[in-house]
């Protein structure tokens, strides 16, 4: 059935607008720019070291001095934001994640170093305890259960600690109930009222996170699964409720994680709430594409650009992707 009595073929030939490069650009509905990109980076202790991550081809762990170079490269290539994830030594992990809020910890030193050398790029820091706990969970465990409110008290300390180091965006990824409100109240009370909160509002208990856990060396620590606090992969209405609650509690931006398998969630949140909405092309997504391209089954440049455009088409305002630098360079030529 033709919509609104629109005449069909041959009066309308849809291929007319596709036949030239200039005409395709003229009618293009969605655009991907360097300003849409956020690069996740992994930082480790040491000096002048770059350590490849086997399960994440072309992604590395960097010492602080080398990650500063990456931040400068991102700034030079028009990427507005980098997201820092720490590789914490096993000796510093504990039941109560004290290292998460220790002043001058790895994350804080990294933020300060980047701000000194690349002051015009934004820095996002992860607010969650999984890199710091012996058991690899995002919260404090009591009697084999994640203690929601006890965890929030630690998250508040962690967030303030990161703000003191100079973080621009605080990103709670733990999925504890009410943590956005409590963190926002703490930021206000400590004169960090201008600090942005990008909440991982719809973070699913996904099987796509394996290479990330390998990257931060928490894969061997994790006991059990995270299904009591991360979302059920079968649910979508629940994601809208989560995002709506986080915005009401003071989040400035929301994130959907993983990305490509959850385009419907991105679209639902953006369409209904009309708030800044971001997607994380997570480690398992990126690693799958890289593995296929390395085997010659798909072409890396084209498939990366296509997948990121899919995020934009779904409504994402920006994308965290390990391919951010590659894509930024491709866009700029």
The domain spanning residue 195 has which CATH number?
3.20.20.70
- Is residue 81 situated within a structural domain? yes
Q: How confident is the model at residue 202 (pLDDT cuts 50, 70, 90)?
A: very high
Classify residue 295 as exposed, middle or buried by CB count within 10 Å of its CB (0-12, 13-18, 19+). exposed
Say what percent of the chain tops pLDDT 70.
Answer: 99
What's the pTM?
A: 0.94
Question: What's the angle, vertex CA 16, arms to CA 10 and CA 19, rounded to 5?
Answer: 145
Report the pLDDT averaged over residues 67-95. Answer: 96
The answer to whether the peptide bond before residue 258 is cis (omega within 30 degrees of 0) is: yes
Given a contact cutoff of 8 angstroms between Cβ atoms, the answer to whether 258 and 211 are in contact is no
pLDDT at residue number 1: 47
Nearest CA among 84, 88, 96, 229 for reference residue 154? 96
User: Tens of pLDDT along 163-199?
Assistant: 999 999 999 999 999 999 999 999 999 999 999 999 9
Residue 10 to residue 19: CA distance in whole angstroms: 16
- Is residue 167 situated within a structural domain? yes
- Is residue 217 situated within a structural domain? yes
Catalytic residue among 203, 226, 270, 312: 203
In total, how many domains does the chain have?
A: 1
- Is residue 198 situated within a structural domain? yes
Residue 84 to residue 158: CA distance in whole angstroms: 14
Give the range of the structural domain holding residue 71, as residue numbers without chain letter: 31-332
- Is residue 83 situated within a structural domain? yes
- Is residue 20 situated within a structural domain? no
Residue 23 to residue 213: CA distance in whole angstroms: 44
Report the pLDDT averaged over residues 106-120. Answer: 96
Other CB atoms closer than 10 Å to residue 192's CB: what's the count? 18
Q: How confident is the model at residue 83 (pLDDT cuts 50, 70, 90)?
A: very high
Report the pLDDT averaged over residues 290-297. Answer: 96
Catalytic residue among 93, 217, 226, 257: 257
Q: Is the pLDDT of residue 119 over 70?
A: yes
User: Tens of pLDDT along 246-261?
Assistant: 999 999 999 999 999 9
Nearest CA among 39, 44, 42, 109 for reference residue 74? 39
- Is residue 247 situated within a structural domain? yes
Q: What is the 3-state secondary structure (H, E, C) of 194-214?
A: CCEEEEEEEEECCCCCHHHHH
- Is residue 289 situated within a structural domain? yes
* Residue 203 annotated among the catalytic residues of the structure: yes
């Amino acid at each position: 059935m033709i919509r609104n009595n629109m005449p069909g073929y041959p009066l309308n030939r849809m291929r007319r607008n596709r036949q030239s490069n200039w005409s395709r650009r003229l009618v293009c509905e969605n655009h991907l720019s360097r300003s849409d990109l956020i690069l996740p980076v992994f930082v480790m202790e040491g000096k002048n070291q770059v350590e490849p991550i086997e399960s994440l081809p072309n992604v590395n762990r960097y010492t602080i001095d080398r990650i500063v170079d990456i931040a400068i490269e991102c700034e030079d290539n028009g990427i507005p934001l980098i997201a820092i994830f720490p590789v914490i030594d096993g000796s510093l992990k504990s039941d109560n994640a004290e290292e998460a809020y220790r002043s001058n910890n790895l994350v804080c030193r990294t933020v300060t170093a980047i701000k000194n050398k690349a002051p015009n790029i934004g820095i996002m820091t992860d607010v969650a305890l999984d890199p710091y706990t012996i058991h690899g969970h995002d919260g404090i465990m009591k009697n084999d259960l994640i203690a929601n409110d006890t965890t929030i008290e630690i998250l508040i300390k962690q967030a303030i600690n990161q703000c003191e180091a100079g973080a621009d965006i605080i990103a709670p990824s733990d999925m504890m109930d009410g943590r956005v409100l409590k963190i926002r109240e703490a930021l206000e009370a400590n004169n960090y009222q201008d600090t942005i909160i990008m909440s991982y509002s719809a973070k699913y208990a996904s099987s796509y996170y394996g290479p990330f856990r390998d990257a931060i060396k928490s894969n061997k620590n994790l006991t059990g699964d995270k299904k009591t606090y991360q979302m059920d992969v079968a649910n979508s209405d629940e994601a809208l409720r989560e995002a709506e609650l986080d915005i009401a509690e003071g989040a400035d931006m929301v994130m959907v994680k993983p990305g490509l398998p959850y385009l419907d969630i991105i679209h639902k949140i953006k369409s209904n709430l009309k708030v800044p909405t971001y997607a994380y092309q997570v480690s398992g997504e990126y690693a799958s594409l890289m593995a296929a391209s390395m085997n010659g089954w798909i072409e890396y440049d084209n498939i990366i650009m296509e997948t990121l455009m899919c995020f934009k088409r779904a409504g994402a305002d920006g994308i965290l992707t390990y391919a951010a630098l590659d894509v930024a360079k491709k866009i700029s030529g």
